[in-house]
Structures are given as C-alpha cells and as structure tokens.
Amino acid sequence: QLNNRLAHKIKTRYQEYKKRKNKCVRIHLLFMSILCMSYSLSFQFWSELHLPIFLHHWNTTTTPSYPEAPLNSVVSPAETDPRIQEIMKKLDQLIPPRPFPHVNTTTSAAHSRVTVLSPRDTYCIGEHLDLLLEVKDYLGRRKEYGGDFLRARMSSPALKAGASGEVTDFNNGTYLVRFTLFWEGQVSLSLLLIHPSEGVSALWRARNQGYDRVIFTGQFANGTSRVLSECGLTLNTSAELCQYLDTRDQEAFYCVKPQHMPCRALTYMTTSNREISYLTLKEKSLFYR
Ligand SMILES: *[C@@H]1O[C@H](CO)[C@@H](O)[C@H](O)[C@H]1NC(C)=O
Ligand SMILES: *[C@@H]1O[C@H](CO)[C@@H](O)[C@H](O)[C@H]1NC(C)=O
Ligand SMILES: *[C@@H]1O[C@H](CO)[C@@H](O)[C@H](O)[C@H]1NC(C)=O
Ligand SMILES: *[C@@H]1O[C@H](CO)[C@@H](O)[C@H](O)[C@H]1NC(C)=O
Ligand SMILES: *[C@@H]1O[C@H](CO)[C@@H](O)[C@H](O)[C@H]1NC(C)=O
C-alpha cells in the first residue's frame, strides 16, 4: 500500500513537472547592456586589506594544515611539481601578453555590440537564449583576439531568481553568451566587461612577478612572551627558518625563527601591503573606474 501511494505521488509529481516543462512563456528582455563599471575595484580593496589569520589549530611540520585531507593523500614534490608546471603553462597560454600602444586600442564596452541570435517572441523553459558579442576598441575597431573578462547574468529580482550565462570565447573578438531559461516571466540580462583582455594579461603578468607585495607577520607565543617575526612564501634571508609544510600539496610557508622559541609557538599572523606595484601607469589606467 505504501508503495502504491509512493508510486502515485511520484506519478503526480512527474505530471506536474511535465506540465510545467511544456509550458511556453514570453520572455521579456528588459535590459541588455554591456557596461564598463560594476565591481568595487579589487586593487583598492587589497591595499586596505588587513587580514588576521588565527593559527591556534596549526600543528607544525608533521601534519597537514587541512585536517579533512586524508593522510594517505600525501604526495611528493616530484609528483606535484610537473603537474603544477603543466597547469601554469596552460594558464600562460590562455593569458598571453597583450601589449597595447594606448588605452584607445583596448576593449571598450561602449563600442562593443551585443545582439540576440535568432530572436523570438516566446521561449520555453529549458531553452537557450544566445547572444553574440562583438568587442571593439575605443576607436571602434574590431578586436582580433579574445581574453576579455566578462560576466553574464540573468535575473528576475521579483522572483529572487538569478543564473549565470555561459561565455564561449572564439578568440577572434567574438563571444557567444548562452543563457539557459530556467524559469518563467520577465528576466533582466546583464553582460559586464569586468576587465579588458589587456588588463587581464597585465594582472596575470604582475601576479607572477613576485610575492613581496604582501607582508606577513607571525606572532610567536611562548609562555607570556610574544615575539613578532617575518613570514612569507619565500624569504630572502640567511637566518634560521621555520617551515610550515602542507603535506597535501607540498607547499611550504616560512617564518624567521625567533630566538628561544620553538617553531610551533606560531599562533597568529597579520598581513599588510607594501606600496609596490608591478603594473605600469598605462596598465593601471585600465583599472580606474
Ligand atoms: C600534533 O600532531 C601530532 C601527530 O598527529 C600529535 O601527536 C600532537 O599531539 C599534535 N600536537 C598538537 C599541539 O596538536
Ligand atoms: C590614441 O590615443 C593617443 C593618445 O591620446 C593619440 O595620440 C592617438 O592619436 C589616438 N589614436 C587614434 C587613432 O585616435
Ligand atoms: C570567429 O570564430 C567563430 C568560431 O570559429 C566563427 O564562427 C566566426 O565567424 C569568427 N568571426 C570572425 C569575425 O572571424
Ligand atoms: C620557550 O621556548 C624555549 C625554547 O623552545 C623553551 O626552552 C622554554 O621552556 C619556553 N618557555 C616557556 C615559558 O614555555
Ligand atoms: C636577497 O638579498 C640580498 C641582500 O640583501 C640582495 O642583494 C638580493 O638581491 C636579494 N635577492 C632577491 C631575489 O631579492
């Protein structure tokens, strides 16, 4: 009997689902634009970031800092290094250098054009809505490569519904933006140019240039005494170092070992930023909002 009831319930649900699925709806494209703003700028944010890191549960050197990682997942650097290099190589290929003579040759949201591919009055739930984006520079010339950082969103605020669009980069200055229509009613679409490809490329280069932008300061506590010490991913010093190794991925973090303190006395860490930048003035101008 129970089984019958369950079967009936499932059948009813399925019919409801089918009914809903077959329902075709009118989708109003309220708002479609490509804008250059959005986003409070991460640069600004970083320079004010002050991040306390608590290390009370850190067990130095012998165990992974991720307790959920099973111990048998420990891998050797010989295994991970080639894999990491391969991933970095792929990323480098994905984000090649994009030198530009002037900002007016970089991607301009205002000059770019977005069109609905085979527009219709009515779409059914589950169907796709495809947009074609053709990017241009500030002089109105077509861009011949991709790599722009785009963000595609579809939303119906009244329904508290939202979804991302899928962006396909053809690497020739055109992008396909595909939205799956998950719900019924009016939707707003937005397509934002977060950073032009030239900016993405500059950020990638700068990111790979050094680790010395962030200053890590570790606090060692031994009894009642507290000592501050310099820490980081790489330390250019001949002083004795404490190594904090994540055995899961073999990545190490170091602190200059304070005198009369064991390495495990590290309890707290703060970060601050150094006033250096690996971006040129021209590159920086891509990020002003
Ligand atoms: C550190 O880990 C070892 C091995 O798991 C354990 O015996 C020891 O008690 C731990 N120490 C602290 C301070 O948690
Ligand atoms: C691009 O901007 C530079 C600097 O303002 C200017 O010299 C150059 O003429 C501009 N290029 C075009 C094609 O307008
Ligand atoms: C860009 O690439 C796509 C996919 O290969 C192609 O269909 C399209 O015609 C190309 N557009 C231009 C302007 O070259
Ligand atoms: C501080 O560390 C030193 C060296 O590891 C140790 O000999 C000493 O007992 C520690 N002092 C306290 C108060 O824990
Ligand atoms: C390391 O420090 C020495 C001495 O201060 C300096 O000459 C050298 O350039 C530094 N190396 C790096 C990679 O920063």
List average pLDDT for each run of 10 residues in the chain, which is 289 residues long.
47 45 46 33 30 43 42 64 90 94 94 91 89 95 96 93 96 96 89 94 90 89 91 91 85 91 92 89 91
The pLDDT assigned to 6 comes to 47
Listing DSSP states for 65-106 in one string gives S-TTS-GGG---HHHHHHHHHHHHHHHHHHS-----SSGGGS
Residue with CA at minimum distance from ligand 1 atom 11: 59
The pLDDT assigned to 33 comes to 38
| Matching residue, tokens 């009914």 | 19
The pLDDT assigned to 84 comes to 85
The pLDDT assigned to 134 comes to 95
The pLDDT assigned to 48 comes to 34
Cα torsion at 222, 223, 228, 233 (round to 10°)? 30
Phi and psi based region of residue 104 (left: phi greater than 0; alpha: psi -120 to 50; beta: remaining): alpha
We find that the CATH architecture of domain 43-48+97-204 is Sandwich (2.60)
Q: Could you state, in order of their start, the residue ranges of all structural domains in the chain? A: 2-36, 43-48+97-204, 80-96+211-287
CA of 237 to the centre of ligand 5 (A): 8
Model pTM score: 0.65
CA of 169 to the centre of ligand 3 (A): 10
Ligand 1: which atom is nearest the Cα of residue 60? Answer: 1
